[in-house]
């Protein structure tokens, strides 16, 4: 099976999750089938690739529309939680 290429389109998004910058082409997860690799192993590697690139997380986030006010509230709560954890760690040191 050497030379076979699988081009799997994991999701069709216009933004990257980490930077939020627009991209010209959608996310594509490429998986090249290795010699003597079973389909189960290839699927396992594909799932890890999708998980690592953040496609799965982004799909869940975009499943339902989130109002801008809800986004701001979620981000504010996340920042507060992060600050609380950092303060607790600083107090312990």
Nearest 5°: phi and psi at 4? -70, 135
Residue 9: is its pLDDT beyond 80? no
pLDDT digits (tens, 9 = 90+) for 11-22: 444 444 444 454
Per-residue pLDDT band for 26 (boundaries 50, 70, 90) equals low
pLDDT digits (tens, 9 = 90+) for 33-75: 889 999 999 999 999 988 888 888 888 888 999 999 999 999 9
Predicted local distance difference test score (pLDDT) of residue 83:
95
Is the distance from CB of 80 to CB of 72 less than 8 angstroms?
A: no
Domain range summary for the chain, segments of one domain joined by +: 5-92
Predicted local distance difference test score (pLDDT) of residue 73:
97
């Amino acid at each position: 099976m050497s030379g076979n290429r699988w081009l799997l389109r994991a999701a069709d998004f216009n933004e990257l999750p980490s930077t939020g910058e627009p991209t010209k082409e959608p996310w594509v997860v490429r998986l090249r089938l290795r010699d003597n690799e079973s389909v189960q192993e290839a699927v396992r590697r594909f799932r890890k690739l999708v998980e690592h690139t953040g496609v799965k997380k982004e799909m869940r986030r975009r499943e339902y529309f989130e109002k801008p006010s809800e986004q701001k509230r979620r981000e504010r709560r996340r920042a507060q939680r992060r600050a609380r954890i950092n303060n607790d760690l600083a107090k312990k040191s």
